[in-house]
């Protein structure tokens, strides 16, 4: 049987135990004897543990007949007898003698060590002693008081019974809440066991997630490396394209183009203009606490491409790498990323936005932030 079919069989077995459907459970055990020794949840519990906990006496009898191990201990060191005794002791308002006979008695003789304690220090024998006391208290007692005495003390006995019932009701609610939390924790472990296969796999997945978590400094360093690596590759491609032609080929007879004038070169180099405009914006607008920020004062717009934005913001940093060092360049990149982060930009300069242009300015800031990230992640830079 493959793993998918095995999980389906275990799920059906758990549903049979929860509903105490012993007839269907008997058929499943007859068709697959390995189910009797299977672990049903992340607490290392077998079918007897679940039947004892749910109070499914008929299913418990079928599991014992099918060869399920009553000496199996779960994650907390408990035998199925521990859970069966706890189940009977929780029935405080109406103690059931028949439940003790059907749920506890079949496990007493088959539990290997009644004095062995679980992780909380509770042994099966101590639970059986509590059950014995509970049976004595639940047994009917003949009344030794006369009718007149009963009438005289009826008010006091009634108040005592009410107080006892209130205490029992509070204890029952507390145990019901604890049982509900335990069931939720059990379902949580089952879901993770189905997803990862075991507790070790779950721990490994948590460690991998912690290793993959990226800090802000690591993110800024990655932006630095990727941006300048791609920019260096582009420069290498441009230099390789300018190499002279191989010997053997006839040289081109086309005359070389005339050298461009200074005015023409400035007009064909909009990046330089954009860099100057960005530097002026940082120096005159952002650095001035009283300056107003408007759409006209922003160096970029929604139509500005991400390559132009990246070259304007990061372009002169590479030129200063030899002068100020690699560490200083990384610090400048972090500062630029922090400056154009949408939330931080709004928190720092939001009070200086021109009235009526707040939404439009925020859109441009988001566009600039996304362009800086795209330059390192997807751009040919």
Domains and their CATH numbers in the chain: 3-138+169-202 (1.25.40.20), 216-238+261-377 (no CATH)
Would you place residue 142 in the very low, low, confident or very high pLDDT band (cuts 50, 70, 90)? low
Residue 311 φ/ψ region, left for φ over 0, alpha for ψ in the -120 to 50 degree band, beta for the rest: alpha
Model confidence band, residue 42 (pLDDT cutoffs 50, 70, 90): confident
CA atoms 357, 362, 363, 367: torsion sign: positive
Q: What is the pLDDT of residue 264?
A: 46
Ranges 7-11, 315-319, 350-354, 359-363: which has the least confidence: 315-319
Average pLDDT across the chain, whole number:
77
Residue 167 has pLDDT above 90, yes or no: no
Q: Which residue do the tokens 């004095």 mark?
A: 115
Rounded-to-integer distance, Cα 365 and Cα 341, Å: 7
Q: Quote the radius of gyration of the chain (alpha carbons, Å).
A: 39
N-terminal to C-terminal alpha carbon distance within the chain = 54
Contact yes or no for 333/220 (Cβ under 8 A): yes
Q: Nearest 5°: phi and psi at 213?
A: -65, 130
pLDDT at 241 over 50: yes
Q: Is the dihedral of CA 240, 244, 250, 252 positive or negative?
A: positive
Q: How confident is the model at residue 136 (pLDDT cuts 50, 70, 90)?
A: confident
Q: Which of 246, 235, 335 is nearest to 282 (CA)?
A: 335
Q: Quick one: DSSP state of residue 293?
A: B
Helix axes 306-319, 216-241, angle to 10 degrees: 90
């Amino acid at each position: 049987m493959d793993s998918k079919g095995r999980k389906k069989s275990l799920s059906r077995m758990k549903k049979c135990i929860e509903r105490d459907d012993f007839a269907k459970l008997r058929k499943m055990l007859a068709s697959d004897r390995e189910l009797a020794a299977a672990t049903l949840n992340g607490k290392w519990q077998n079918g007897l543990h679940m039947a004892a906990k749910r109070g499914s006496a008929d299913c418990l009898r079928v599991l014992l007949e099918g060869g399920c191990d009553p000496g199996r201990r779960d994650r907390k060191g408990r035998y199925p007898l521990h859970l069966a005794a706890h189940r009977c002791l929780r029935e405080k308002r109406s103690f059931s003698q028949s439940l003790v006979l059907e749920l506890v008695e079949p496990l007493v003789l088959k539990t290997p060590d009644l004095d062995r304690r679980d992780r909380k220090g509770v042994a099966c024998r101590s639970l059986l002693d509590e059950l014995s006391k509970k049976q004595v208290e639940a047994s009917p007692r003949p009344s030794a008081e006369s009718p007149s005495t009963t009438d005289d003390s009826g008010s006091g006995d009634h108040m005592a019974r009410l107080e006892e019932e209130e205490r029992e009701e509070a204890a029952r609610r507390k145990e019901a809440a604890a049982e509900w939390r335990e069931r939720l924790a059990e379902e949580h472990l089952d879901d993770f066991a189905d997803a990862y296969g075991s507790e070790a796999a779950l721990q490994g997945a948590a460690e991998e997630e912690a290793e993959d978590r990226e800090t802000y400094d690591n993110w800024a360093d990655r932006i630095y490396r990727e941006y300048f690596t791609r920019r260096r590759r582009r420069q290498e491609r441009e230099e390789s394209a300018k190499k002279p032609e191989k010997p053997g080929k006839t040289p081109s007879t086309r005359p070389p183009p005339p050298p461009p004038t200074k005015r023409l070169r400035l007009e064909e180099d909009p990046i330089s203009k954009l860099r100057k405009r960005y530097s002026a914006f940082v120096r005159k607008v952002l650095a001035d606490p009283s300056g107003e920020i408007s759409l006209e004062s922003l160096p970029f717009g929604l139509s500005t491409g991400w390559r132009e934005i990246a070259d304007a913001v990061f372009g002169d940093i590479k030129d200063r790498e030899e002068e100020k060092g690699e560490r200083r360049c990384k610090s400048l990149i972090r500062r630029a990323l922090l400056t154009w982060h949408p939330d931080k930009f709004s928190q720092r300069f939001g009070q200086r936005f021109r009235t009526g242009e707040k939404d439009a300015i925020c859109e441009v800031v988001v566009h600039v932030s996304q362009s800086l990230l795209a330059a390192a992640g997807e751009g040919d830079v």
